[in-house]
Structure 1
Amino acid sequence: MKIAIGNDHAGTEYKFATVSYLESEGIEVTNYGTNENNSVDYPDFVHPVANDVDKEKVDFGILICGSGNGVAMTANKYKNVRAGLCWTKEITELTRQHNNANIICIPARFTSLHQAIDMVKTFLATEFEGGRHLNRVNKIPMCV
């Protein structure tokens, strides 16, 4: 499995912990995020992740910022991206099961580090249910 990860200054600690977990599971990780805590512009780190997911260069993406909103808004501009803002394991499970999300967006200022790792585990372990959800998911893209 291949994962692309990106973060801004609010998500640096979470990114390092997430990368460590993923690599311990034998998952290949491409790090597009900042490694610093100095203020940066989150879109600069979102676009490479979203592009890799959009072009199917990776299986999934992980984006981390303070609220999760900015990274989700940016990533969802890509036609084949379905970035879900997740703050609990239950929301994470539903965004995979019902929305076939291929990027998880984590709000570092509103989740604990332990919660974030649990959400990543849940995200990667949960399958899309398809069925009635497939028709809905197919109606999401507006880009041509």
Structure 2
Amino acid sequence: MLIIAIGSDHTGVHYKYVINNFLIEKGHKIKDFGFSKYGIQVDYPDFIHPTAEFVNKGKADFGIIICGSGNGAAMTANKYQKIRAALVWEKEIAILARKHNNANIISIPARFVDKSKIIEIVKIFLETNFEGGRHKIRVEKIPKILSSSAG
């Protein structure tokens, strides 16, 4: 059983419900930070920040974030030191995001992912393991190191 945090803006509400139902059927625990109403516009950072923070603190194994293009959600989530949010719209990108980048959040562009692919993309993301090796070295270089000597 995985613990998965999920957050979305108004463009991702439908996908959020579809994904939540799938994850619950698979026996996973969901922490839903997403918007829940149709027809009302909201600002994605209001829902992405708590999702990313939950994953960043180690309270969830993975996160799923959804907005119109996926870009704003990914940019917001990637402000957190321990987050590696990957913009994913195809199966192959989901595989590489996990295998090579050890992504812990998937950012889904609701306006650009076909409804028939969404569950398969999420399933692949959650089931693909990080390869480590040369990729581990690269991933370790991602967080910015805070120091007073940086010029």
Residue of 71, 80, 83 corresponding to 1:81: 83
- Partner AA of 1:24 in structure 2: E
Aligned mates of 1:142, 1:114 — CA distance in 2: 37
- Partner AA of 1:42 in structure 2: Y
Identical residues among aligned pairs (%) = 56
- Closer, same or farther in 2 for the Cα pair 1:39/1:143, shift >3 Å? farther
TM-score, L = length of structure 1:
0.98
Aligned mates of 1:117, 1:14 — CA distance in 2: 9
Aligned mates of 2:129, 2:67 — CA distance in 1: 25
More helix by share: 1
- Closer, same or farther in 2 for the Cα pair 1:21/1:143, shift >3 Å? farther
Aligned mates of 1:112, 1:56 — CA distance in 2: 31
Q: Deviations over 1:17-65 (max 9, x none)?
A: 0000000000000110001131000000001110011110000000011
Question: How far apart are residue 143 of structure 1 and its match?
Answer: 5.4
- Closer, same or farther in 2 for the Cα pair 1:3/1:139, shift >3 Å? same
- Partner AA of 1:36 in structure 2: K
Aligned mates of 2:109, 2:7 — CA distance in 1: 13
Question: How far apart are residue 117 of structure 1 and its match?
Answer: 1.1
The answer to whether the Cα contact below 8 Å between 1:8 and 1:64 also exists between their aligned partners in 2 is: yes
Counterparts of 1:1-144 in structure 2 under 5 Å? 1-37=2-38, 38-142=40-144, 144=146
Larger Rg: 2
The answer to whether the Cα contact below 8 Å between 1:79 and 1:143 also exists between their aligned partners in 2 is: no
Q: CA RMSD in A?
A: 0.8
